[in-house]
Amino acid sequence: MKPLLDWESWPEPYRTQGRRTADLATAVYAGHVRDQGSPYLEHPARVVAILHEEFGVTDPHILILGLLHDALEVSPESEPAISAGLGANFVRQLRAMTPDHRLELRPKRPEDACVWHEKLNKLDASEILVRLADRVDNLRDLSNSPSLQRRSRFLDALTETYIPLSAQARDLSPSHRRAHQFLTEEHQRVTGAGII
């Protein structure tokens, strides 16, 4: 796997933050496996690649956010270490991007879908880009999920929530426009291929 972040070429303080982030990501995602059976770290690494190579994101903060976007979801106990390494504001962003039932270590309840939708609508421009890159990667990997029910729920959420979110955000920047384009193209590809 290629380096998690190309932080060595970044100006300070991003160079130091990039190094810390790569170390944190390695520790936080260690031992976690996605339902497809792959090491969890591969997913956020692909999200960073999508942000940079496909959406055209060069802002180190957004790339750092992309690498740790699922940290509190898979390892809520890592919050103090992330806060110590990257600050309370960074953790606030991660919390804004993480479903409440994951933060609270509890099963998902029916009302969580509405709460999550409200959280998504409050995301800032950088957080939206990360969430959309996450969706693109999940779409590309969806056929590897062993759960047909999960695939169906994912595509429903994409149609009802994420594609409208990307359409609303597409005029925020050229990267948001590319995110909307990639997400809709991947959705069409997956639904046309009969993944579920």
pLDDT digits (tens, 9 = 90+) for 101-124: 999 989 999 999 889 989 999 999
Q: What is the pLDDT of residue 106?
A: 92
Q: Are 151 and 65 in contact (CB under 8 A)?
A: no
pLDDT digits (tens, 9 = 90+) for 57-105: 999 999 999 999 999 999 999 999 999 999 999 999 999 999 999 999 8
Tokens (6 digits) for 61: 């903060």
Domains for the chain: give ranges and CATH numbers: 10-193 (1.10.3210.10)
Q: What is the pLDDT of residue 24?
A: 95
**Helices 88-96 + 60-67 axis angle, to 10:** 60
Buried b (16+ CB within 10 A) or exposed e, 152-173: eebbebbeebbbebbeebbebb
